[in-house]
Chain A
Amino acid sequence: MAASPPVVAVRDLWAGYDARPALESITFELPARSLVGLAGPNGSGKSTLLKALLGLISPWKGSLDLFGGSIKGSRQRIAYAPQSELVDWEFPVSVRDVVMMGRYGRVGLLRRPAASDRRAVDSALAQVRLEELASRQISELSGGQQRRMLIARALAQEADLLLLDEPMVGLDATNQHELLELFERLRDQGKTLLVATHDLSCVAACFDLALLLNRRLVAMGPPSEIFTPELLSEAFAEDLLMLPTRGGVLVAHHGHG
Protein backbone atom coordinates (compact mmCIF):
# COMPACT_ATOMS: atom_id res chain seq x y z
CA MET A 1 0.00 0.00 0.00
CA ALA A 2 1.42 3.36 -1.02
CA ALA A 3 1.84 5.77 1.87
CA SER A 4 -0.61 8.68 1.64
CA PRO A 5 1.10 12.04 1.13
CA PRO A 6 1.69 14.11 4.27
CA VAL A 7 -1.15 16.46 5.19
CA VAL A 8 1.26 19.39 5.14
CA ALA A 9 4.62 19.50 3.41
CA VAL A 10 6.57 22.74 3.75
CA ARG A 11 10.00 23.12 2.17
CA ASP A 12 12.34 26.06 2.65
CA LEU A 13 9.48 28.47 3.29
CA TRP A 14 10.29 32.18 3.65
CA ALA A 15 7.60 34.75 4.36
CA GLY A 16 7.23 38.13 6.00
CA TYR A 17 5.83 41.64 5.87
CA ASP A 18 7.38 44.79 4.39
CA ALA A 19 10.63 43.06 3.54
CA ARG A 20 11.03 41.93 7.16
CA PRO A 21 11.18 38.16 7.37
CA ALA A 22 8.79 36.51 9.84
CA LEU A 23 9.65 32.98 8.77
CA GLU A 24 13.07 31.86 7.57
CA SER A 25 13.66 28.63 5.72
CA ILE A 26 10.97 26.54 7.38
CA THR A 27 10.86 22.87 6.41
CA PHE A 28 8.59 20.23 7.95
CA GLU A 29 5.90 17.66 7.25
CA LEU A 30 2.79 16.82 9.24
CA PRO A 31 1.39 13.29 9.14
CA ALA A 32 -2.34 12.63 9.01
CA ARG A 33 -4.16 11.94 12.30
CA SER A 34 -1.89 13.96 14.53
CA LEU A 35 -2.24 16.57 17.22
CA VAL A 36 0.55 19.06 16.73
CA GLY A 37 1.50 22.00 18.92
CA LEU A 38 3.01 25.05 17.30
CA ALA A 39 4.97 26.72 20.09
CA GLY A 40 7.07 29.85 20.13
CA PRO A 41 7.25 33.26 21.78
CA ASN A 42 5.31 36.31 20.58
CA GLY A 43 6.53 37.46 17.19
CA SER A 44 8.01 34.06 16.41
CA GLY A 45 5.92 33.72 13.27
CA LYS A 46 3.21 31.33 14.50
CA SER A 47 0.35 33.34 13.03
CA THR A 48 2.33 34.00 9.86
CA LEU A 49 2.87 30.28 9.37
CA LEU A 50 -0.85 29.61 9.83
CA LYS A 51 -1.68 32.37 7.34
CA ALA A 52 0.75 30.98 4.82
CA LEU A 53 -0.83 27.53 5.17
CA LEU A 54 -4.25 29.13 4.60
CA GLY A 55 -3.02 30.90 1.48
CA LEU A 56 -3.74 34.31 3.03
CA ILE A 57 -0.18 35.52 2.46
CA SER A 58 2.06 34.44 -0.38
CA PRO A 59 5.49 33.10 0.56
CA TRP A 60 8.60 34.86 -0.71
CA LYS A 61 10.25 31.58 -1.44
CA GLY A 62 9.80 27.87 -0.91
CA SER A 63 6.99 25.41 -1.47
CA LEU A 64 3.93 24.56 0.50
CA ASP A 65 1.84 21.49 -0.32
CA LEU A 66 -1.40 20.41 1.30
CA PHE A 67 -2.57 16.83 0.86
CA GLY A 68 0.03 16.43 -1.87
CA GLY A 69 -1.35 19.32 -3.92
CA SER A 70 -1.73 23.09 -3.99
CA ILE A 71 -3.51 25.18 -1.36
CA LYS A 72 -6.11 26.30 -3.91
CA GLY A 73 -7.13 22.72 -4.61
CA SER A 74 -7.60 21.90 -0.92
CA ARG A 75 -9.29 25.04 0.36
CA GLN A 76 -12.24 23.18 1.81
CA ARG A 77 -10.02 20.56 3.45
CA ILE A 78 -8.32 23.14 5.66
CA ALA A 79 -10.20 25.12 8.30
CA TYR A 80 -9.11 27.90 10.60
CA ALA A 81 -10.17 29.19 14.00
CA PRO A 82 -8.69 32.65 14.72
CA GLN A 83 -7.66 34.00 18.11
CA SER A 84 -10.81 34.88 19.94
CA GLU A 85 -9.45 38.38 20.73
CA LEU A 86 -9.61 39.12 17.00
CA VAL A 87 -13.32 38.32 16.78
CA ASP A 88 -16.03 40.99 17.09
CA TRP A 89 -18.18 39.48 19.83
CA GLU A 90 -20.74 42.29 19.58
CA PHE A 91 -21.52 41.52 15.94
CA PRO A 92 -25.25 40.78 15.53
CA VAL A 93 -25.18 37.05 14.81
CA SER A 94 -26.22 33.91 16.67
CA VAL A 95 -23.97 30.95 17.44
CA ARG A 96 -25.67 28.95 14.70
CA ASP A 97 -25.16 31.79 12.18
CA VAL A 98 -21.41 31.74 12.84
CA VAL A 99 -21.09 27.97 12.65
CA MET A 100 -23.06 28.03 9.38
CA MET A 101 -20.39 30.36 7.96
CA GLY A 102 -18.12 27.34 8.01
CA ARG A 103 -20.31 25.93 5.23
CA TYR A 104 -20.30 29.01 3.01
CA GLY A 105 -17.13 28.09 1.13
CA ARG A 106 -18.60 24.72 0.25
CA VAL A 107 -22.03 26.11 -0.57
CA GLY A 108 -20.46 28.52 -3.06
CA LEU A 109 -21.55 31.83 -4.54
CA LEU A 110 -25.22 32.45 -5.40
CA ARG A 111 -26.40 29.34 -3.59
CA ARG A 112 -28.22 28.94 -0.32
CA PRO A 113 -27.35 26.42 2.41
CA ALA A 114 -29.24 23.13 1.99
CA ALA A 115 -30.45 20.51 4.47
CA SER A 116 -27.07 18.78 4.35
CA ASP A 117 -25.39 22.02 5.42
CA ARG A 118 -27.77 22.38 8.35
CA ARG A 119 -27.01 18.79 9.36
CA ALA A 120 -23.27 19.53 9.26
CA VAL A 121 -23.87 22.57 11.49
CA ASP A 122 -25.94 20.51 13.95
CA SER A 123 -23.27 17.87 14.13
CA ALA A 124 -20.49 20.43 14.63
CA LEU A 125 -22.48 22.06 17.42
CA ALA A 126 -23.05 18.66 19.02
CA GLN A 127 -19.33 17.81 18.92
CA VAL A 128 -18.46 20.91 20.92
CA ARG A 129 -21.62 20.58 23.06
CA LEU A 130 -23.14 23.91 22.09
CA GLU A 131 -26.50 22.62 20.77
CA GLU A 132 -28.38 24.24 23.62
CA LEU A 133 -26.80 27.62 22.96
CA ALA A 134 -27.25 27.52 19.17
CA SER A 135 -29.68 30.41 19.01
CA ARG A 136 -27.84 32.59 21.54
CA GLN A 137 -26.38 35.90 20.50
CA ILE A 138 -22.58 35.43 20.42
CA SER A 139 -21.97 38.22 22.95
CA GLU A 140 -23.64 36.03 25.58
CA LEU A 141 -21.02 33.27 25.42
CA SER A 142 -18.40 32.61 28.08
CA GLY A 143 -14.71 32.38 27.14
CA GLY A 144 -14.73 28.60 26.83
CA GLN A 145 -17.95 28.63 24.82
CA GLN A 146 -16.46 31.25 22.48
CA ARG A 147 -13.49 29.01 21.67
CA ARG A 148 -15.74 26.01 21.17
CA MET A 149 -17.94 27.99 18.78
CA LEU A 150 -14.93 29.01 16.68
CA ILE A 151 -13.84 25.38 16.55
CA ALA A 152 -17.37 24.29 15.65
CA ARG A 153 -17.28 26.62 12.65
CA ALA A 154 -14.08 24.93 11.53
CA LEU A 155 -15.65 21.51 12.10
CA ALA A 156 -18.76 22.44 10.09
CA GLN A 157 -16.47 22.84 7.11
CA GLU A 158 -15.68 19.10 7.41
CA ALA A 159 -12.01 19.83 6.89
CA ASP A 160 -9.24 17.30 7.48
CA LEU A 161 -6.70 19.84 8.69
CA LEU A 162 -7.64 22.29 11.46
CA LEU A 163 -5.49 25.31 12.21
CA LEU A 164 -6.26 26.79 15.62
CA ASP A 165 -4.68 30.03 16.77
CA GLU A 166 -4.25 30.24 20.56
CA PRO A 167 -7.47 28.41 21.45
CA MET A 168 -6.49 27.97 25.09
CA VAL A 169 -5.39 31.45 26.10
CA GLY A 170 -7.26 32.76 29.11
CA LEU A 171 -9.23 29.58 29.82
CA ASP A 172 -9.42 28.03 33.27
CA ALA A 173 -8.18 24.49 33.88
CA THR A 174 -11.58 22.85 33.42
CA ASN A 175 -12.19 24.52 30.08
CA GLN A 176 -8.65 23.81 28.88
CA HIS A 177 -9.06 20.18 29.81
CA GLU A 178 -12.35 19.96 27.94
CA LEU A 179 -10.77 21.52 24.86
CA LEU A 180 -7.84 19.09 24.96
CA GLU A 181 -10.26 16.16 25.14
CA LEU A 182 -12.04 17.54 22.09
CA PHE A 183 -8.70 17.80 20.25
CA GLU A 184 -7.88 14.19 21.05
CA ARG A 185 -11.31 13.04 19.89
CA LEU A 186 -10.89 14.90 16.60
CA ARG A 187 -7.42 13.43 16.15
CA ASP A 188 -8.87 9.96 16.74
CA GLN A 189 -11.45 10.65 14.04
CA GLY A 190 -8.52 11.03 11.64
CA LYS A 191 -8.11 14.79 11.60
CA THR A 192 -4.85 16.68 11.85
CA LEU A 193 -4.74 19.63 14.23
CA LEU A 194 -2.08 22.29 14.21
CA VAL A 195 -2.52 24.36 17.38
CA ALA A 196 -0.56 27.57 17.89
CA THR A 197 -0.01 28.11 21.58
CA HIS A 198 2.14 29.65 24.27
CA ASP A 199 1.27 26.91 26.67
CA LEU A 200 4.15 24.46 26.66
CA SER A 201 2.80 22.34 29.50
CA CYS A 202 -0.38 21.57 27.52
CA VAL A 203 1.68 20.58 24.52
CA ALA A 204 3.97 18.47 26.66
CA ALA A 205 1.07 16.68 28.30
CA CYS A 206 -1.26 15.92 25.41
CA PHE A 207 0.21 16.57 21.98
CA ASP A 208 1.77 14.02 19.62
CA LEU A 209 4.20 16.42 18.05
CA ALA A 210 5.51 19.90 18.62
CA LEU A 211 7.06 22.48 16.38
CA LEU A 212 9.33 24.92 18.19
CA LEU A 213 9.33 28.10 16.18
CA ASN A 214 11.33 31.27 16.48
CA ARG A 215 11.32 32.59 12.93
CA ARG A 216 13.37 29.51 12.12
CA LEU A 217 12.14 26.04 12.97
CA VAL A 218 14.19 25.29 16.07
CA ALA A 219 13.02 21.71 16.43
CA MET A 220 10.23 19.33 15.58
CA GLY A 221 9.34 16.03 17.19
CA PRO A 222 7.49 14.46 20.10
CA PRO A 223 7.42 16.96 22.96
CA SER A 224 9.17 14.55 25.31
CA GLU A 225 12.16 14.51 22.97
CA ILE A 226 12.45 18.14 21.95
CA PHE A 227 11.44 19.97 25.12
CA THR A 228 15.02 20.04 26.34
CA PRO A 229 16.50 23.03 28.13
CA GLU A 230 18.81 23.70 25.17
CA LEU A 231 16.11 23.71 22.49
CA LEU A 232 13.56 25.53 24.62
CA SER A 233 15.95 28.30 25.47
CA GLU A 234 16.92 28.54 21.82
CA ALA A 235 13.26 28.94 20.85
CA PHE A 236 12.15 31.18 23.67
CA ALA A 237 15.43 32.94 24.40
CA GLU A 238 14.94 35.20 27.40
CA ASP A 239 11.16 34.69 27.62
CA LEU A 240 11.52 31.48 29.56
CA LEU A 241 12.47 30.63 33.08
CA MET A 242 13.59 27.03 33.43
CA LEU A 243 13.93 25.17 36.66
CA PRO A 244 15.63 21.79 36.54
CA THR A 245 13.72 19.19 38.56
CA ARG A 246 14.16 15.50 39.17
CA GLY A 247 11.61 14.51 36.52
CA GLY A 248 13.02 16.81 33.86
CA VAL A 249 12.59 20.50 33.57
CA LEU A 250 9.95 22.85 34.87
CA VAL A 251 9.17 25.65 32.50
CA ALA A 252 7.65 28.99 33.28
CA HIS A 253 7.41 31.87 30.96
CA HIS A 254 7.06 35.52 31.51
CA GLY A 255 6.67 38.63 29.46
CA HIS A 256 3.69 37.43 27.44
CA GLY A 257 0.80 39.74 26.83
Chain B
Amino acid sequence: MAEFLLDPLEFEFMQRALLAVIVVGVVSAVVGAFVVVRGMAFIGDAVAHASFAGVAGAFAMGVSVYAGAIVAAIATALGIAFISQRARLRFDTAIGVLFAGAFALGIVIVSRQENYTTDLFSFVFGSVLGVSWGELQLMALLGALVIGLIALFYKELLFTSYDATVAAAAGVPVRAIEYGLLALIAISTVVALQAVGIVLVIAMLVTPAATASLLVRRLHLIIFVSIAFAVASAVTGLYVSYHAEVASGATIVLTATAFFALALLFAPRRGLVSRWWQDRERVRELVG
Protein backbone atom coordinates (compact mmCIF):
# COMPACT_ATOMS: atom_id res chain seq x y z
CA MET B 1 0.00 0.00 0.00
CA ALA B 2 2.78 2.41 0.94
CA GLU B 3 4.47 1.65 -2.37
CA PHE B 4 1.23 2.24 -4.22
CA LEU B 5 1.04 5.69 -2.63
CA LEU B 6 4.69 6.69 -2.44
CA ASP B 7 6.27 5.32 -5.61
CA PRO B 8 4.55 7.76 -7.98
CA LEU B 9 5.62 10.70 -5.84
CA GLU B 10 9.26 10.06 -6.68
CA PHE B 11 8.48 11.83 -9.91
CA GLU B 12 8.19 15.59 -9.66
CA PHE B 13 5.48 15.67 -12.34
CA MET B 14 3.35 13.42 -10.13
CA GLN B 15 3.83 15.72 -7.14
CA ARG B 16 2.67 18.63 -9.27
CA ALA B 17 -0.22 16.62 -10.66
CA LEU B 18 -1.34 15.57 -7.19
CA LEU B 19 -1.36 19.16 -5.95
CA ALA B 20 -3.12 20.28 -9.12
CA VAL B 21 -5.96 17.77 -8.86
CA ILE B 22 -6.46 18.69 -5.19
CA VAL B 23 -6.73 22.37 -6.11
CA VAL B 24 -9.12 21.56 -8.94
CA GLY B 25 -11.19 19.31 -6.66
CA VAL B 26 -11.60 21.90 -3.93
CA VAL B 27 -12.39 24.83 -6.23
CA SER B 28 -14.80 22.87 -8.45
CA ALA B 29 -16.58 21.43 -5.43
CA VAL B 30 -17.23 24.81 -3.82
CA VAL B 31 -18.49 26.43 -7.03
CA GLY B 32 -20.23 23.21 -8.08
CA ALA B 33 -22.43 23.26 -4.98
CA PHE B 34 -24.00 26.48 -6.27
CA VAL B 35 -24.18 25.11 -9.81
CA VAL B 36 -26.09 22.06 -8.56
CA VAL B 37 -28.54 23.75 -6.18
CA ARG B 38 -29.33 26.43 -8.75
CA GLY B 39 -29.63 24.01 -11.67
CA MET B 40 -26.88 25.68 -13.72
CA ALA B 41 -25.06 22.57 -14.96
CA PHE B 42 -25.58 23.46 -18.61
CA ILE B 43 -23.92 26.84 -18.17
CA GLY B 44 -20.80 25.32 -16.60
CA ASP B 45 -20.47 22.99 -19.56
CA ALA B 46 -21.05 25.83 -22.02
CA VAL B 47 -18.48 28.08 -20.40
CA ALA B 48 -15.87 25.33 -20.44
CA HIS B 49 -16.43 24.65 -24.12
CA ALA B 50 -16.51 28.34 -25.00
CA SER B 51 -13.18 28.90 -23.26
CA PHE B 52 -11.68 26.81 -26.05
CA ALA B 53 -11.99 29.88 -28.30
CA GLY B 54 -9.85 31.79 -25.81
CA VAL B 55 -7.32 28.99 -25.53
CA ALA B 56 -7.00 28.75 -29.31
CA GLY B 57 -6.90 32.51 -29.80
CA ALA B 58 -4.25 33.01 -27.14
CA PHE B 59 -2.22 30.14 -28.59
CA ALA B 60 -2.38 31.67 -32.07
CA MET B 61 -1.29 35.05 -30.72
CA GLY B 62 1.43 33.51 -28.60
CA VAL B 63 0.10 34.79 -25.29
CA SER B 64 -0.84 32.90 -22.12
CA VAL B 65 -3.55 30.34 -22.85
CA TYR B 66 -4.83 30.76 -19.30
CA ALA B 67 -5.43 34.45 -19.87
CA GLY B 68 -7.21 33.63 -23.14
CA ALA B 69 -9.33 30.96 -21.49
CA ILE B 70 -10.34 33.25 -18.64
CA VAL B 71 -11.31 36.11 -20.94
CA ALA B 72 -13.35 33.82 -23.19
CA ALA B 73 -14.99 32.01 -20.26
CA ILE B 74 -16.02 35.18 -18.43
CA ALA B 75 -17.18 36.86 -21.64
CA THR B 76 -19.34 33.83 -22.47
CA ALA B 77 -20.80 33.59 -18.98
CA LEU B 78 -21.71 37.26 -18.82
CA GLY B 79 -22.86 37.23 -22.45
CA ILE B 80 -25.29 34.42 -21.70
CA ALA B 81 -26.76 36.35 -18.78
CA PHE B 82 -26.91 39.57 -20.78
CA ILE B 83 -28.59 38.06 -23.82
CA SER B 84 -31.15 36.14 -21.82
CA GLN B 85 -32.08 39.28 -19.87
CA ARG B 86 -32.11 41.82 -22.68
CA ALA B 87 -33.43 39.76 -25.54
CA ARG B 88 -35.97 37.95 -23.35
CA LEU B 89 -34.71 34.61 -24.55
CA ARG B 90 -34.80 31.57 -22.36
CA PHE B 91 -31.54 31.01 -20.51
CA ASP B 92 -30.85 27.64 -22.16
CA THR B 93 -31.42 29.14 -25.62
CA ALA B 94 -28.85 31.87 -24.96
CA ILE B 95 -26.46 29.20 -23.65
CA GLY B 96 -26.93 27.04 -26.73
CA VAL B 97 -26.21 29.91 -29.11
CA LEU B 98 -23.11 31.29 -27.38
CA PHE B 99 -21.62 27.95 -26.42
CA ALA B 100 -21.66 26.55 -29.95
CA GLY B 101 -20.60 29.87 -31.46
CA ALA B 102 -17.57 30.26 -29.25
CA PHE B 103 -16.50 26.64 -29.63
CA ALA B 104 -16.79 26.95 -33.42
CA LEU B 105 -14.63 30.06 -33.30
CA GLY B 106 -12.01 28.04 -31.43
CA ILE B 107 -12.07 25.31 -34.06
CA VAL B 108 -11.72 27.84 -36.89
CA ILE B 109 -8.71 29.41 -35.18
CA VAL B 110 -7.15 26.00 -34.58
CA SER B 111 -7.68 24.96 -38.20
CA ARG B 112 -5.50 27.91 -39.28
CA GLN B 113 -2.63 26.79 -37.04
CA GLU B 114 0.09 24.58 -38.43
CA ASN B 115 1.60 23.34 -35.19
CA TYR B 116 -1.41 23.10 -32.90
CA THR B 117 -1.41 19.40 -32.09
CA THR B 118 -0.44 18.40 -28.56
CA ASP B 119 -0.45 21.72 -26.70
CA LEU B 120 -3.95 22.69 -27.72
CA PHE B 121 -5.44 19.28 -27.43
CA SER B 122 -4.09 18.90 -23.93
CA PHE B 123 -6.80 21.43 -23.04
CA VAL B 124 -9.51 19.50 -24.79
CA PHE B 125 -8.73 16.19 -23.10
CA GLY B 126 -6.73 17.37 -20.12
CA SER B 127 -3.12 16.63 -19.24
CA VAL B 128 -2.60 17.06 -15.55
CA LEU B 129 0.73 15.28 -15.76
CA GLY B 130 2.04 18.14 -17.90
CA VAL B 131 1.22 20.90 -15.40
CA SER B 132 4.22 23.13 -14.69
CA TRP B 133 5.00 24.73 -11.32
CA GLY B 134 4.04 28.09 -12.79
CA GLU B 135 0.68 26.80 -13.99
CA LEU B 136 0.08 25.14 -10.64
CA GLN B 137 0.75 28.44 -8.91
CA LEU B 138 -1.69 30.20 -11.21
CA MET B 139 -4.37 27.57 -10.58
CA ALA B 140 -3.90 27.89 -6.82
CA LEU B 141 -4.07 31.67 -7.02
CA LEU B 142 -7.25 31.67 -9.11
CA GLY B 143 -8.75 29.03 -6.86
CA ALA B 144 -7.98 31.07 -3.75
CA LEU B 145 -9.60 34.10 -5.40
CA VAL B 146 -12.77 32.15 -6.21
CA ILE B 147 -13.09 30.58 -2.76
CA GLY B 148 -12.24 33.85 -1.01
CA LEU B 149 -14.97 35.72 -2.88
CA ILE B 150 -17.52 32.97 -2.19
CA ALA B 151 -16.65 33.08 1.52
CA LEU B 152 -16.94 36.88 1.60
CA PHE B 153 -20.31 36.97 -0.14
CA TYR B 154 -21.66 33.65 1.07
CA LYS B 155 -24.80 34.99 2.70
CA GLU B 156 -25.70 37.10 -0.34
CA LEU B 157 -25.06 34.13 -2.64
CA LEU B 158 -27.26 31.94 -0.46
CA PHE B 159 -30.10 34.48 -0.30
CA THR B 160 -29.95 35.25 -4.03
CA SER B 161 -29.82 31.56 -4.99
CA TYR B 162 -32.77 30.72 -2.78
CA ASP B 163 -35.05 33.66 -3.47
CA ALA B 164 -33.74 36.45 -5.71
CA THR B 165 -36.90 38.57 -5.53
CA VAL B 166 -36.99 38.76 -1.75
CA ALA B 167 -33.22 39.28 -1.65
CA ALA B 168 -33.57 42.25 -4.00
CA ALA B 169 -36.39 43.65 -1.88
CA ALA B 170 -34.14 43.38 1.20
CA GLY B 171 -31.48 45.45 -0.53
CA VAL B 172 -29.10 42.68 -1.62
CA PRO B 173 -27.38 43.69 -4.91
CA VAL B 174 -28.86 40.69 -6.68
CA ARG B 175 -27.79 41.58 -10.21
CA ALA B 176 -24.14 42.02 -9.18
CA ILE B 177 -24.21 38.78 -7.19
CA GLU B 178 -25.65 36.84 -10.15
CA TYR B 179 -23.09 38.17 -12.62
CA GLY B 180 -20.36 37.63 -10.05
CA LEU B 181 -21.31 33.99 -9.57
CA LEU B 182 -21.23 33.46 -13.35
CA ALA B 183 -17.74 34.95 -13.46
CA LEU B 184 -16.64 32.66 -10.61
CA ILE B 185 -18.05 29.64 -12.45
CA ALA B 186 -16.09 30.76 -15.51
CA ILE B 187 -12.83 31.11 -13.56
CA SER B 188 -13.27 27.75 -11.86
CA THR B 189 -13.84 25.99 -15.18
CA VAL B 190 -10.55 27.47 -16.37
CA VAL B 191 -8.80 26.22 -13.22
CA ALA B 192 -10.07 22.72 -14.01
CA LEU B 193 -9.36 22.88 -17.76
CA GLN B 194 -5.83 21.59 -17.83
CA ALA B 195 -6.42 18.85 -15.28
CA VAL B 196 -9.47 17.18 -16.79
CA GLY B 197 -9.96 18.86 -20.16
CA ILE B 198 -12.80 20.94 -21.60
CA VAL B 199 -15.12 18.01 -22.16
CA LEU B 200 -14.95 16.75 -18.58
CA VAL B 201 -14.85 20.03 -16.62
CA ILE B 202 -18.58 19.82 -16.09
CA ALA B 203 -18.16 16.54 -14.21
CA MET B 204 -15.81 18.15 -11.68
CA LEU B 205 -18.36 20.91 -11.11
CA VAL B 206 -21.45 18.79 -10.89
CA THR B 207 -20.68 15.23 -9.79
CA PRO B 208 -19.18 15.72 -6.30
CA ALA B 209 -21.82 18.35 -5.45
CA ALA B 210 -24.59 16.09 -6.72
CA THR B 211 -23.23 13.26 -4.55
CA ALA B 212 -23.13 15.58 -1.55
CA SER B 213 -26.68 16.80 -2.12
CA LEU B 214 -27.91 13.21 -1.85
CA LEU B 215 -26.32 12.97 1.59
CA VAL B 216 -26.80 16.35 3.31
CA ARG B 217 -29.45 19.03 2.97
CA ARG B 218 -27.95 22.38 3.88
CA LEU B 219 -25.91 24.40 1.44
CA HIS B 220 -22.77 24.83 3.54
CA LEU B 221 -22.77 21.11 4.36
CA ILE B 222 -23.17 20.29 0.68
CA ILE B 223 -20.08 22.42 0.02
CA PHE B 224 -17.96 20.64 2.65
CA VAL B 225 -19.08 17.12 1.73
CA SER B 226 -18.63 17.97 -1.94
CA ILE B 227 -15.02 19.04 -1.26
CA ALA B 228 -14.39 15.71 0.47
CA PHE B 229 -15.75 13.70 -2.48
CA ALA B 230 -13.96 15.85 -5.04
CA VAL B 231 -10.57 15.53 -3.36
CA ALA B 232 -11.07 11.82 -2.72
CA SER B 233 -12.01 11.28 -6.39
CA ALA B 234 -9.13 13.41 -7.64
CA VAL B 235 -6.45 11.70 -5.57
CA THR B 236 -7.83 8.17 -6.06
CA GLY B 237 -8.32 8.76 -9.76
CA LEU B 238 -4.81 10.10 -10.20
CA TYR B 239 -3.19 7.10 -8.45
CA VAL B 240 -5.31 4.60 -10.31
CA SER B 241 -4.53 6.26 -13.62
CA TYR B 242 -0.81 6.15 -12.82
CA HIS B 243 -0.76 2.48 -11.91
CA ALA B 244 -3.20 1.37 -14.59
CA GLU B 245 -1.58 3.62 -17.18
CA VAL B 246 -4.84 5.21 -18.32
CA ALA B 247 -5.88 8.84 -18.89
CA SER B 248 -5.82 10.72 -15.59
CA GLY B 249 -8.64 13.25 -16.13
CA ALA B 250 -11.09 10.60 -17.24
CA THR B 251 -10.13 8.28 -14.37
CA ILE B 252 -10.74 11.07 -11.87
CA VAL B 253 -14.16 11.71 -13.37
CA LEU B 254 -15.00 7.99 -13.35
CA THR B 255 -14.03 7.78 -9.68
CA ALA B 256 -16.31 10.72 -8.88
CA THR B 257 -19.07 9.04 -10.89
CA ALA B 258 -18.60 5.84 -8.91
CA PHE B 259 -19.01 7.76 -5.63
CA PHE B 260 -22.17 9.30 -7.05
CA ALA B 261 -23.55 5.89 -8.03
CA LEU B 262 -22.90 4.58 -4.52
CA ALA B 263 -24.66 7.57 -2.96
CA LEU B 264 -27.56 7.24 -5.39
CA LEU B 265 -28.04 3.64 -4.31
CA PHE B 266 -27.21 3.73 -0.64
CA ALA B 267 -27.72 7.27 0.67
CA PRO B 268 -29.75 7.19 3.87
CA ARG B 269 -33.27 8.52 3.15
CA ARG B 270 -32.65 9.83 -0.39
CA GLY B 271 -30.92 6.75 -1.82
CA LEU B 272 -32.80 4.33 -4.07
CA VAL B 273 -32.45 1.38 -1.69
CA SER B 274 -33.65 3.43 1.25
CA ARG B 275 -36.61 4.78 -0.74
CA TRP B 276 -37.56 1.33 -1.89
CA TRP B 277 -37.44 0.18 1.73
CA GLN B 278 -39.51 3.15 2.95
CA ASP B 279 -42.15 2.51 0.30
CA ARG B 280 -42.31 -1.16 1.22
CA GLU B 281 -42.72 -0.35 4.91
CA ARG B 282 -45.47 2.13 4.11
CA VAL B 283 -47.34 -0.38 1.99
CA ARG B 284 -47.02 -2.95 4.79
CA GLU B 285 -48.45 -0.48 7.28
CA LEU B 286 -51.38 0.23 5.00
CA VAL B 287 -52.11 -3.37 4.20
CA GLY B 288 -51.63 -4.37 7.84
**Residue ranges of A at the interface with B (Cβ–Cβ < 8 Å):** 54-56, 75-76, 78-82, 86-88, 91-94, 97-98, 101-102, 104-105, 107, 109-110, 112-113, 137, 139, 153, 157
Contacts and interface: CB of A to CB of B under 8 A. Distances in A.
B166 A82 contact: yes
Contacts of B159: 101, 104
B165 A101 contact: no
Contact of A93 (B152, B162, B166, B213): B162
Contacts of A97: 158, 218-219
B172 interface: yes
A159 B28 CA distance: 39
A153 B159 CA distance: 12
Contacts, number: 77
Contact of A101 (B167, B217, B218): B167
B165 A98 contact: no
B171 interface: yes
Nearest to B212: A92
A105 B171 contact: yes
A93 B158 contact: yes
B158 A101 contact: yes
B170 interface: yes
A113 B158 CA distance: 14
Given A82-B163, A92-B221, A137-B217, 14 more contacts: A75-B169, A79-B169, A82-B166, A88-B162, A91-B161, A91-B162, A92-B217, A93-B158, A93-B162, A93-B219, A104-B156, A105-B171, A109-B173, A110-B153
A153 B167 CA distance: 11
Contacts of B128: none
Given A88-B162, A93-B162, A101-B162, A109 B170 contact: no
The 8 closest A-B pairs by CB, nearest first: A105-B170, A54-B169, A105-B171, A75-B171, A80-B169, A137-B217, A92-B217, A101-B159
A105 B217 contact: no
A147 B155 CA distance: 22
B168 interface: yes
Contacts of A110: 152-153
A109 B171 CA distance: 10
Contacts of B219: 92-93, 97
A94 B156 contact: no
17 contacts: A54-B168, A56-B169, A76-B170, A76-B171, A80-B165, A80-B170, A86-B165, A91-B161, A91-B162, A97-B218, A101-B159, A101-B163, A101-B166, A104-B170, A105-B172, A113-B155, A157-B170
Contacts of B155: 101, 104, 107, 112-113
B129 interface: no
B222 interface: yes
Interface residues of B, number: 26
B217 A56 contact: no
B37 interface: yes
Interface string B32-61: 000001000000000000000000000000
Contact of B166 (A80, A113, A139): A80
A3 B37 CA distance: 49
A104 B172 contact: yes
Contacts of A86: 165
A75 B169 CA distance: 7
A153 B221 CA distance: 22
Contact of B222 (A78, A92, A157): A92
Nearest to B33: A92
B200 to A, nearest CB: 25
B224 to A, nearest CB: 12
Contacts of B167: 101, 104
A19 to B, nearest CB: 13
Contacts of A80: 165-166, 169-170
A82 B218 contact: no
B155 to A, nearest CB: 5
A75 B156 contact: no
Nearest to A55: B169
B170 A92 contact: no
Contacts of B162: 88, 91, 93, 98, 101
Contact of B165 (A56, A94, A105, A113): A56
A141 to B, nearest CB: 13
Contact of A109 (B156, B168, B218, B222): B156
Contacts of A82: 163, 165-166
Contacts of B171: 75-76, 105
B17 to A, nearest CB: 33
Contacts of B158: 93, 97, 101
A60 to B, nearest CB: 19
A165 B237 CA distance: 51
A91 B169 contact: no
Interface in B76-94: none
Nearest to B162: A91
A92 B163 contact: no
